[in-house]
Structure 1
Amino acid sequence: MFAREAGPVADEQQLLEIIASNSQGVLAAVTRAGYPHLTNVLYVWDGQERIARVSTTADRVKGRILRRDPRAALHVSGPHFWSYAVAECDAETSEVAMTPGDPASRELLGVHSAFYGELDEDALFGRLIDERRLVVRLHVRRLYGVVLANPPGA
């Protein structure tokens, strides 16, 4: 039988450490019907601005949903199943990359370089434009989650 007591509460710094130490998460957005739309994403974290940046294409569902309703949440797993952080966010989308070196393609270059290292800019700009890529900026407004030092079953 489980005891009825308050669950563990993580402080903000612990939650930010989970987000900063990862680049993979699950992005949740609210569909027109009110159901959550969940998608696995790679993100780049900017701790000073408290923004997670995600590269996507203009025609993907997450981008369309977030342009209509900017409420989002990013769930990031910690080092084991019982630790996680959730960032409630206001989403903002960049313009679609249209020409090599435009603001959107430059921002996308930063996102993709974080994952893949130094890239051939000309080739990348061509691909970003062909794929109609844009950046989803997730501005963190609230954090919650759990960080257990000694998780059950460990």
Structure 2
Amino acid sequence: MQKLQMLRQARNLLGIGTDIVYLPRFQRLLMKYTNDDDVYAIKSSSALDRINDKFMHPIERATFRSLANESLSKRAKYLAGVWATKEATLKALHCYIPSEHIPPAQVIYTKLLYKTNNTSTGSPQLQFDKNFSTTTPLYSQFFRDYINGKISTLLSISHDEQYLVSFVCLTSK
């Protein structure tokens, strides 16, 4: 019933974005930081952390660390999904917000939002960090003017053996 009511509400499309990534690229990145003896052991967590710090929100980094005992393929899909989602979101934001008002990509990727999964359905979703104005006061006006309480996100991710695609849609609330 709630979904039906939500569909009946008039929403304006604000922006769309998509990104496709080559999964073997992310597998190679992970293999570079994996011990030969143990494919699950991280060789240089500080180097991998520095890479992840450039595009992952702290919640995503914690989720990635929780996948340490998972297969290389699963960890690569997670990294690729986060990357593609951030790229698609940035493209969608550029449809909606004037370029001069958008913070740098790294701020958006690491502070503004994070990819998670719906706990009941497992479907991917995007969450805006409610603490963005506090953690990034330089861009608090941007958050108030364009994000907070104003937009909703729709996220779809699909993958096969070699590619992963992410599609993000921004709608008004």
For normalisation by structure 2, the TM-score amounts to 0.24
Relative contact order: is structure 1 or structure 2 higher (C-alpha 8 Å, sep ≥ 6)? 2
For normalisation by structure 1, the TM-score amounts to 0.27
